[in-house]
Structure 1
Amino acid sequence: MTQQPVATPQPVATSDKLDAAVLKVAGVVVLGAIMSILDVTVVSVALPTFQNEFDASYARVAWTMTAYTLALATVIPLSGWAADRFGTKRLYMIALALFTIGSALCATADTIGQLIAYRVLQGLGGGMLMPLGMTIMTRAAGPHRIGRLMAVLGIPMLLGPIGGPILGGWLIDVASWHWIFLINLPIGVIALVYAQLALPKDNPEPSESFDFVGMLMLSPGLALFLYGVSSLPEAGTFADSGVWLPMLIGAALVVAFVLYSFRPQHPLLDLRLFRNRRLTIAAVTMFVFIIAFMGAGLLFPSYFLQVRGESTLAAGLLIAPQGIGAMLTMPIAGMLADKVPVGRTVPFALLLIVAGFFTFTQVDANTSYVLLCGSLFVMGLGMGGTMMPIMTSALRTLTGHEVARGSTLVNILQQIGGSVGAAVMSVILTKELNTSQPIPGVTDPSGKPLSEAGLAIAAQQRPELLQQFPVDPSLIERGLDFAADAFAKTFWVAFALVLLTLIPAALLPRRRERSHLLDDQPGDQPGDQPRTPVVVH
């Protein structure tokens, strides 16, 4: 990546603390990340509201989240080159503006189709915020403070799970669904002004040509593959052509890109970075973890909403202990990551997640809230000691100009893992729920027979249905028991994946390695020139 000249070259401060200049830059990045991450969790609790407002099926309104994810996956590979070409400050402000404009348009949507289209615009901006933010912050802090830096960047990752469901539920209850998007407007304006004042001026001097061939393979390939994966819950089977055909075409394009990417000097996505063993192990660990945890994470509010009949606000409050637990351990994990090899801490954090997760494999329709909230708190303690240290391990050994490329790889893996995890868990849960007995003469709005579990879940959210379909109360109770059992079986799959994460985690470095983040040396690729790192003060 092209670097800015520094008027008075000097080494990065040796203090372990993040000074005021670094924290000022971090504030810009955290604001942008809060908007992007908070938006995902806020919308997740609004899906039942969208069903009622737009008279659409759950599968249809779920595309308000899927479209956002597809846009993220499409634009992330472009962010590294675009930062070289236009400068990180300029591009970051463009991303903020796109996200804010997309939010305003979402609030004006009259149909579910319009809302899905505007969510794509939001995703185009949101997709660039995280990789650009990681690049900006990593350069500002220096290599010896990456752990503390990642702990700061983890703040929005905590506020999202804590504040998103609570804020979304509250806004929908006291105002309307429009406000879950309008809330982004003042934050976006403040972030734009803050970025203009706090971020250093761009001085881009592009030296790399754009990989058009790679873009024509990778971006459509990722979008098609994730489209197929995201269509799986609605189709219910891989045999549906709407699932396997885009997945197959997308996978073929991605494989073609992988084979091609080692030929150009400056590929769109630099897979040569996987020669770095530490980056590879950290990436594999994170990918498996994201599939398990992000997939199951969508099921936690669904259990409270569908099986326990809680409101969106109450469901958000019940999930909050997870974020509180992570808030306690993430700063500690950040400090330890700068001093202790992550291979000595991450496996223990994963064991905390395993311990807390096990409770959800045993849930029924009446499991104690104290036990569930306590388990979520324990899981949060483990999560706070897992995500940021793994990302620290991945970035610590990269040279200065590799940071943008490495963060792009990490963000793409996160998006793919999250999409795959959500689709897999949704399909398993749907199949389990559909095995319950259909009720004679009772159908859903599409005319399909409604099962005992389906009626019980619908009755929890819309009690007036019981007046339309008078049934024996014992049938509702039996349906809720069956639904809870379906959730438990789905959680078993996620639990097994978390256990699987322990295998690559055991290979994480157990001794300290020298950081190369700000080394002034050529990269792995022929023709790369030594580049002077940026030190922002």
Structure 2
Amino acid sequence: MTRDSSHTALLWIVAAGFFMQSLDTTIVNTALPSIARSLHVAPLAMQPIVVAYTLTMAMLTPASGWLADRFGTRRVYFAAILIFVIGSVCCASAHTLGQLVIARVLQGVGGSMLLPIGRLAVLRSVSGEQYVSALAFISVAGQLGPIAGPTLGGWLVEAITWHWIFLINVPIGAAGLYAVQRFLPSHGERQAPPFDFIGCGLLSLCMIAFSLAIDAPAPTHQAAWSAALFALAAVSALAYIPHARRRRNPLFKLSLFGEPNFSVGLIGNLVCRIGSSAVPFLVPLLLQLELGYTPLHSGLMMLPAALAGTIVKRWIASLVRRFGYDLFLLVNTLVVGSSIVGFALITRGTPLFVEIVILAVFGAANSMQFAAMNSVTLKDLSHEDAGSGNSLFSMVQMLAIGLGVSIGGGLVKLFSAQWGSAALGFRLSFVCVGAITLMSAWVFRHLDTAPRVRAPASQGVGR
């Protein structure tokens, strides 16, 4: 096989893995009511299957680079696909909500390694001048997942059963396993620095405790349980600071937060994504439970948002150059937050055209928001800090998705019980999560727009 054809095969392997991972982040949403009926639980009780997947990926993503160095890129990427496929089969075989949550955790273990290790394999195999083009090719697969996911999920639920939203990963994964063994370069094991298991454990405990505190898992004394879990999350986060100062190679260097835009961008990303991550979870539930849409119809309704987001990506660079990151993010954040609040206006009597416009505006503004937030957060990091910063950034992105689902679902349950109306519960929840997103506009006002002389860091792939 020639060098060019080998590189092409590598890109297709990594793109397929990225597609599989991004597809599973969205394909489940339109199937949630059907899965809930099959498992005999309430649709809003299904949020743990989304949170378990994203939270697991958030916890394990930082370890992916160390695993690749320690055991070899091809071996670990093969294991990632295999674990992901086994997790998918377990999801399809689940008979209770608890079994499905555990299977989603297994899926998340494999999914956490698919993109980072695939990106690392490309970095080690492709020359510098080809790297940007290679990443652009891979990113297309990440964009196709959110576009195809909701519609494909809705169609599979109606045409066959919900189990096939997970079983579809089996043939894709089987082809991927063969391709990895056949085409992926064998980057041998190397002397990896000791992994910071204690630091990873502290931050993982922080994320788990914080997520459980929002869900208030105990049926009684919920306020006390939530307060205790919030305290545990805070203690875990604070304990990481002296640990990182003492350790020679901590999981994340504290010096990362010396870069003003990284700190502001990280906080702004977390706050903004909580609101925008609740939308893909809440909108299919609203359409199916309150407006009577079929799973396929609700999946098709998500297409305007995904397509609008893909179309506007070409405008982002020119808009940022013209208005600057601070003004662009301030205005665009207001558009994103307002469009989320706009979902509260959707009722049975709302014209279809209005629904499509709200979805398209949200999708377009949200896509530009993600791209601008990603860039401003990472662009001023040094090359030495780029890898660690990108890993922490990916961790926060996954955490925000889980928090968005937990907060959005929790608000619907709270307001529905309080006011005795699920429709009103959805409306008030969209207002609240939209307000959370609007709060990030204040965070982005603190961006440092002074010119930098430092070389920009690699910004990676993904949303």
TM-score (norm: length of structure 2) = 0.85
1:500 positional shift: 2.0
Call closer, same or farther: CA 1:115–1:166 in 2, change over 3 Å.
Answer: same
Alignment of 1:241-390 (within 5 A): 241=225, 243-333=226-316, 342-343=325-326, 345-354=328-337, 356-390=339-373
1:328–1:272 CA distance, 2 compared to 1 (3 A): same
1:16 counterpart residue number: none
1:401 and 1:501 mapped to 2: Cα distance?
28
Residue number among 116, 124, 133 corresponding to 1:131 in the alignment: 116
Distance 2:215 2:141 in 1: 25
Select the residue among 30, 36, 58 that pairs with 2:21. 36
Q: Match for 2:441 among 494, 502, 509? A: 502
Deviates more, 1:154-163 or 1:251-260: 154-163
The secondary structure found in structure 1 opposite 2:223 is coil
Contact 1:269 1:405 in 2 (8 A): yes
CA 59–74 in structure 1, closer or farther in 2 if over 3 Å, else same: same
Query: Is contact 1:97–1:188 with CA below 8 Å preserved after alignment?
Result: yes
Question: Is 1:79 aligned with 2:64?
Answer: yes
Whether the 8 Å CA contact 1:76–1:412 is kept in 2: the answer is yes
State the structure with more CA Rg: 1
Mapped to 2, the partners of 1:194 and 1:390 lie a distance apart of: 34
Q: Which amino acid aligns with 1:362?
A: L
Whole-angstrom CA distance in 2 between matches of 1:509 and 1:159: 34
Is contact 1:351-1:382 (8 Å) kept? no
CA spacing shift, 1:144–1:182, aligned 2, 3 Å: closer
Q: CA deviation at 1:394?
A: 3.1
Within 2, Cα distance between the matches of 1:417 and 1:220? 16
Deviation at 1:273, TM superposition (A): 1.8
Q: How many corresponding residue pairs?
A: 454
Shift of 1:289: 1.3
Contact residue 379 and residue 457 of structure 2 kept, 8 A: no
Cα distance in 1 between the residues matched to 2:13 and 2:385: 22
Give, in angstroms, the shift of residue 96 of structure 1: 1.8
Choose which of 142, 158, 161 in structure 1 pairs with 2:146. Answer: 161
Deviation at 1:314, TM superposition (A): 0.6
Compute the displacement of 1:341 (Å). Answer: 5.9
Residues 54 and 401 of structure 2 are in contact (CA less than 8 Å); yes or no, is this contact kept in structure 1? no
Partner of residue 484 from structure 1, selected from 416, 420, 423: 423
CA contact (8 A) 1:344 1:510 kept: no
SS in 2 for 1:185: helix
CA distance in 2 between partners of 1:278 and 1:193 (Å): 43
- Report the 3-state secondary structure (helix = DSSP H, G, I; strand = E; otherwise coil) of the residue aligned with 2:251: coil
Stretch deviating more after TM superposition (323-332 or 336-345): 336-345
Alpha-carbon contact 1:352-1:382 (below 8 Å) kept: yes
Tell me if the contact between 1:145 and 1:338 (Cα under 8 Å) persists in the aligned partners. no
1:239 aligned residue (223, 234, 248): 223
Report the alpha carbon displacement of residue 127 of structure 1 after superposing the two structures with TM: 1.7
The one-letter amino acid paired with 1:47 is L
Compare 255-264 and 52-61 and name the one that shifted more.
Answer: 52-61
Judged with a 3 Å threshold, the aligned counterparts in structure 2 of structure 1 residues 112 and 493 are, in CA distance, closer, same or farther, namely: closer
Q: Residue 267 of structure 1: SS of its match in structure 2?
A: coil
1: CA distance, partners of 2:8 / 2:220:
47
Say whether 1:64 aligns with 2:45.
Answer: no
Deviation of 1:407 (Å): 2.2
Aligned to 2:215, which of 209, 230, 239? 230
Superposed CA offset, 1:187-237 (max 9, x none)? 2223334445555431443241122332342333333332333346x8598
Q: Which runs of 5+ in 2 are unaligned?
A: 459-463
* Aligned equivalents of 1:206, 1:348: Cα separation in 2: 47
Tell me, yes or no, if structure 1 residue 219 matches structure 2 residue 204.
Answer: yes
Change (3 A) 1:267 1:295: same
Unpaired segments ≥5 residues, structure 1: 1-18, 437-450, 454-482, 520-537
- Is 2:148 aligned against 1:209? no
Mapped contact 1:73–1:223 kept (Cα < 8 A):
no
Task: Choose from 372, 388, 405 the match for 1:422.
Answer: 405
The Cα of 1:107 is off from its aligned counterpart by: 2.0
Shift of 1:426: 2.0
* CA distance in 2: counterparts of 1:508 and 1:495, whole angstroms: 22
Question: How far, CA to CA, are the matches of 1:27 and 1:248 in structure 2?
Answer: 45
Letter in 2 for 1:294: S
AA of the residue aligned to 2:109: L
1:179 corresponds to: 164
Whichever structure has more helix as a proportion of its residues is 2
Letter in 2 for 1:485: L
Q: Which range moves more in the overlay, 78-87 or 421-430?
A: 78-87
Q: Which amino acid aligns with 1:503?
A: W
Counterpart code for 1:356: S
| Counterpart code for 1:66 | V
Taking a change above 3 Å as real, the CA distance of residues 224 and 302 of structure 1, as seen in their structure-2 partners, is same
How far apart, in 2, do the equivalents of 1:154 and 1:498 lie?
25
1:289 and 1:103 mapped to 2: Cα distance? Answer: 30
Q: Equivalent residue of 2:247, what SS?
A: coil
Structure 2: which amino acid aligns with 1:270?
A: K
CA gap 1:151/1:334 in 2 versus in 1, 3 angstroms:
farther
> Does the 8 Å contact 1:326/1:380 carry over to 2?
yes
CA gap of 1:207–1:130, structure 2 versus 1, over 3 A, is: closer
User: What residue number does 2:461 align with?
Assistant: none
What is the 5 A alignment of 1:91-170? 91-136=76-121, 154-170=139-155
Whether the aligned pair in 1 keeps the contact of 2:74 and 2:186 (CA below 8 Å) is yes
Q: Residue 135 of structure 1 contacts residue 403 of structure 1 at CA under 8 Å; is this kept in 2?
A: no
Alignment partner of 1:62: what SS?
helix
Which amino acid letter does the alignment assign opposite residue 99 of structure 1?
F
Of residues 189, 214, 229, the one that matches 2:174 is: 189
Bigger shift: residues 384-393 or 506-515: 506-515
Q: Distance in 2 between matches of 1:245 and 1:304?
A: 36
The answer for the alignment partner of 2:416 in structure 1 is 433
Distance (whole Å) between structure 2 residues aligned to residue 20 and residue 336 of structure 1: 37
C-alpha change, 1:113 and 1:502, in structure 2 (3 Å) is: closer
